[in-house]
Amino acid sequence: MLETLGLARMEDLYGHLPPDVLLNRALDLPAGKSEYEILDYFRARGRENAVGFASFLGAGVYCHYRPVLVDAVVSRGEFLTSYTPYQAEISQGTLTAIFEFQTMMCQLTGMDVANASMYDGSSALAEAALMAMRITGRNRVVAARTVHPEYRETLRTYGRFSGMEIEEAGYDSESGQADLTDLERRLSGDTAAVILQSPNFFGIVESVKPAAELAHRAGALLVVAFTEAVSLGLLAPPREADIVAGELQSFAIAPSYGGPFAGILACREKFLRQIPGRLAGETRDSNGNRAFCLTLATREQHIRRERATSNICTNQELIALMATVFMTVYGKRGLRELAEQNLAKAHYLGTKLKRRFTGPYFNEFVAVSSDPEGVNRSLKGRRIIGGLPLRRHYPEVEGALLVCCTETAKRADMDAVAAEMNSR
């Protein structure tokens, strides 16, 4: 091939680059390794993390069973190694799956429209707020402090440079739900959105309906976030919301130290033109057969450039596909049964412990302890990872652990946690 190009050496391929930008030495990296050495390396690193521990951590990342079908499907090269389906005629597999995903997301959330995925729940929430600003032409956002702290931090970063003003509304120290009176107090004529999360960070189910009424009365939109998608199998969907932003990690996605996950944005029909991200739509091919394609691209950066609804391009399609397979495997009854098992497990442990809040909870709750760190330390000795100490994010909630029990929680481990916490 070099001959074809009339070149002598491979280096001639970049002979035209200015010498001063060239790297005149070899990269300072170890020599290439065989796949066996590479796997040994990662297995060794893996052993330096907690392996085979029982865990009661939730707080936005949940450990659920993963049906084996999920891996069987996403391992197929036709899904794994294809690009964003711009060329519809040879991408119908991905496009059909996205269309099914969008449909199931609407069925779960009660919204009219859902996109093909966002990076994660936190960036989806930030985009939802920006979306609300575009829709309302207002610039203030009121977020409940019961929204996941890292979601609020992400919101702040996105908001900081886009003229978004963010206020946080407190919560009822009894119930652990957002304090709607405080929230109402903060509404004004330039409030673009009210942001709630349900179940909230404390695991407590929020009252979406009254919040929606407050927001709408003030001419603002209600944005509802979720971090535990399994709860949608049992909880009433946030139909009263205008935009729903969520995280699908619970749908067969391994915790993987925090990613890759898949965010989702869903909204009412009328806000369709303002939703960011990819959308697959139904249409026909020239033979009249049903077909699908990416649509409404005029919202997107590659067409609209600086006037796009967002700069998002690559999203999390393969993860959304995993979630789609997960939803297919569990189906209508399975997702319900799964949610009910989560409910039962969490309430089994929840009733044994002193809980900080009284509001209804799904699969996690805040447990009070005189010595949270001490509890975790001695549980660690028994290869159990206890709950998440709330100190850092909620200094006012002293001596508390956020404890999560999914369907994978074993009774014996829960008993051990209860014994440990009640022994102090």
Partner 1 sequence: MIKKVRSHPTQNELLLFELSSPGKKAYQLPPLDVPAVDPAEALGEGNVRAEIEGFPEVSEVEAIRHFTRLSTWNYAIDLGLYPLGSCTMKYNPRVNEVAARTEGLEWIHPYQPDSLSQGAMEIMAALERALAEITGMDAVTLQPAAGAHGELTGIFLVRALLESRGNPRRRVLVPDSAHGTNPATVRMAGYEVEHVASNDRGMVDMAALERMVDDDVAAMMVTNPNTLGIFEDEIAGIARILHAKGALLYMDGANMNALAGIARPGDAGADAMHLNLHKTFSTPHGGGGPGAGPVAVKAFLEPFLPLPRLLRVDEGWRWDYDRLKSIGRVRAFHGNFGVLVRALAYILAHGGEGLKRATLDALLNACYLRKLLEPYYEIAYSSPSMHECVFSDRRQAALGVPTGAIAKRLIDYGFHPYTVSFPLIVHGALMIEPTETESKRELDLFADAMISIAREAEENPELVTSAPHSTRTSRVDEVAAARKPVLKWSPRG
Ligand X SMILES: Cc1ncc(COP(=O)(O)O)c(C=O)c1O
Residues that bind its own copies (CB under 8 A): 35-36, 65, 67-68, 72, 75-77
Q: How far apart are CA 197 and CA 359, in angstroms?
A: 14
Are the beta carbons of 356 and 104 closer than 8 angstroms? no
Residue 191: which residues within 8 A CB-CB, separation 6 or more? Answer: 138, 140, 141, 142, 215, 218, 219, 220
Q: Which of residues 166-185 bind partner 1 (CB under 8 A)?
A: none
Q: Compute the least distance from the CB of residue 368 to its own copies, in Å.
A: 32
Q: Does residue 303 bind ligand X (CB under 6 A)?
A: no
- In this structure, what are the phi and psi dihedrals at residue 55, rounded to the nearest 5 degrees? -130, 140
Q: Which is nearer to its own copies, 65 or 86 (CB)?
A: 65
Distance CA 251, CA 320 (A): 9
Q: Does 423 bind partner 1 (CB under 8 A)?
A: no
Q: Is the peptide bond before 238 cis (omega within 30 degrees of 0)?
A: no
Residue among 75 and 287 whose Cβ is closer to its own copies? 75
Q: Which does 369 bind (CB under 5 to 8 A by kind): ligand X, its own copies, partner 1, none?
A: none
- How many residues belong to the site for ligand X (CB under 6 A)? 2
Candidates 133-141, 185-193, 211-219, 403-411; binding stretch for partner 1 (CB under 8 A): 403-411
337 binds partner 1 (CB under 8 A): yes
Contact between 279 and 115 (Cβ < 8 Å): yes
Q: Which is nearer to partner 1, 94 or 218 (CB)?
A: 94
By the 8 A CB rule, do 401 and 365 touch? no
Q: Which of residues 79-98 bind partner 1 (CB under 8 A)?
A: 79-94, 96-97
Buried b / exposed e over 376-410, threshold 16 CB at 10 Å, is: beebeeeebebbbbbeebbeebeebbbbbbbbebe
Q: Which of 8, 137, 189, 314 binds partner 1 (CB under 8 A)?
A: 314
Q: How many residues bind partner 1 (CB under 8 A)?
A: 192
Interface segment toward partner 1; rule CB under 8 A; list 59-67, 134-142, 187-195, 210-218? 59-67
